[in-house]
Amino acid sequence: MSDAGASDPNAVPATPESEPEPEPEAPPPAEEDNGHRAVSVGIIGAGWAGLAAASDLCDAGIEVTVYEASHTPGGRARRVDNHSNASVRPMDNGQHLMLGAYTQTLALMRRLGQNPDKLLRRIPLTLQALDGRFRLHAPRMNAPWHGVMALATAQGLGVGDRLKAIIGMARLRQRSWAVDNTHTVADLMRSLGQTPRSMQLLWEPLCLAALNTPATQASAVIFARVLRDSLDGATENSDLLIPRTDLSALWADAAVKRCNMRYGVKVQKLHLIEGGVAVETVTAEGVDYVGHDAVIVATPPSATRRMLADMQDVDYLLEQLNAFQYLPIATLNVRFASPVRLPLPMMMLHENPARQHLGQWVFDRGALLGLPPVNGEFTIVVSAREQLISLSREEVINGLLAQLGEQWAARSAKPLPAIAAYELFVDKRATFAAVRGLARPGVASPWERIMFAGDWTDTGYPSVLEGAVRSGVKAAQKTLSRLQ
């Protein structure tokens, strides 16, 4: 569940050929009160990875400058301007769901003075279909019994389906969640004896929610790691955490107050200079170079590849960055003309691609944001459906609204209220595909003073917000160790 935007925020305007480019300079001699030059780190990208790195560096007393092509912090999890009246509150570029196992994200929020208990709606793991065909609920029991009981009492699965699911998870746990790294999630579930019905109602939806990658393509290793962290740790690790505020307000707004922010600045290239790295930016005024002691590149692989293309001895790294494949996410926000609420804050939708019913989840935005009863707002999410790319916006919207109406009618004799407004966000390259065998770079680059951060680095997690935060924290730690 991710961000939207048809244009590339890192696209660089052409540089006028008539203007000579200035030479990169060494880091500027910024001074602290004691007369010593302050250590300067530039961070490219104000997404969750870049701002997590910035926060840790600020804690260490580093002077941090963040370059961000847009004008709002948060990257693919940020607030967007609402011009459609599809909500009475600020909207996001995508609906995000977190887990209680996202320990580093929760710790970062607390360090920034943001209270997760107030800003996130925490509910025990509950998966319930809007049309009533399926329900799974994890009781408050110690691991692994909360998972066992959730599977044993799942409604919509037969006795054989439930028994095989319990046995399959027990086998994984006995193996310490180690799986064949050549397997997809579909391969893994077949090897564990899972039934077609449990695949359709349970494992495939979970795989899409966790990895934003279809089970027939998704890495079994990454999926097993997510299952381990959520089902085999503390009971609260499997809780669902749903934001009660816009995503920038969750913690990004607090993080940027501590940094020197340069919004609307597109970074074109990096240059190695004596004692550090120069950031080359292009603006309407022309080319500019700013020197830093170190730089953390916290942009998507495609933008990172462009910035490094002129560096020497980078063929292998560029091949890694070029190997990433991307999958779309669509988010439809719907505001109703009269009050309406879902039975739960988040519910499952059943897909029917032939009818353009592509939604997998629906969120009760009105309930989550604490809107007055007069406001009914739902958010429908579509993950990893490449069919989105070939459909017009009208086809996507009509298909999702029809799907919502039909599955609502299956559980309620009262029809949905009339729709007052809606807004569709589609990001055709929302997340990388977490496929098997994907070689992901670490945070350390081949150059001493350049580090990487992003959910695409080798975090062990899929393209999720916790992976972004973990990579940012690790990149900050590596930067500090190299600056010593």
Residues 201, 226 within the same domain: yes
**How many folded domains does the chain comprise?**
3
Residue in this structure with the two tokens 């930067």, named with its chain if needed: 479
Picking from 211, 163, 221, 210, the residue whose alpha carbon sits closest to that of residue 187 is 221
Cβ partners under 8 Å of residue 18, min gap 6: none
Asked if residue 91 belongs to a domain, the reply is: no
Residues 305, 333 within the same domain: no
Residues 407, 368 within the same domain: yes
404 HSE (CA, 13 A, CB side)? 27
Residues 356, 380 within the same domain: yes
Asked if residue 50 belongs to a domain, the reply is: yes
CA torsion 351-396-428-96 (nearest 10°) is -60
Residues 228, 331 within the same domain: no
Query: Are 24 and 267 within 8 A, CB to CB?
Result: no
Residues 407, 281 within the same domain: no
CA 345 to chain centre: 19
Residues 301, 377 within the same domain: no
Instruction: Count the Cβ atoms, other than its own, within 10 Å of residue 209.
Output: 21
Residues 130, 228 within the same domain: yes
pLDDT tens per residue across all 484 residues of the chain: 433 333 343 433 333 344 445 556 555 544 444 555 689 999 999 999 999 999 999 999 999 999 999 999 999 888 887 666 667 678 888 888 899 999 999 999 999 999 999 999 999 999 999 999 999 999 999 989 999 999 999 999 999 999 999 999 999 999 999 999 999 999 999 999 999 999 999 999 999 999 999 999 999 999 999 999 998 888 999 999 999 998 999 999 999 999 999 999 999 999 999 999 999 998 777 789 999 999 999 999 999 999 998 888 889 999 999 999 999 999 999 999 999 999 999 999 999 999 999 999 999 999 998 888 777 999 999 999 999 999 999 999 999 999 999 999 999 989 999 999 999 999 999 999 999 999 999 999 999 999 999 999 999 999 999 999 999 999 999 999 999 8
Distance, CA of 211 to CA of 232 (rounded, Å)? 18
145 HSE (CA, 13 A, CB side)? 4
Distance, CA of 172 to CA of 211 (rounded, Å)? 19
Residues 339, 276 within the same domain: no
Asked if residue 396 belongs to a domain, the reply is: yes
Asked if residue 89 belongs to a domain, the reply is: no
Range of the domain at 406: 326-431
- Which amino acid appears at position 343 of this protein? P
CATH number for the domain spanning 335: value is 3.90.660.10
- Which residues does residue 82 pair with via DSSP β-bridges, in sequence order? none
Residues 424, 450 within the same domain: no
Q: Which of 206, 237, 268 is the last residue of a domain?
A: 237
Asked if residue 292 belongs to a domain, the reply is: yes
Residues 333, 362 within the same domain: yes
Cβ partners under 8 Å of residue 437, min gap 6: 181, 182, 219
395: helix, strand or coil: helix
Distance, CA of 122 to CA of 117 (rounded, Å)? 8
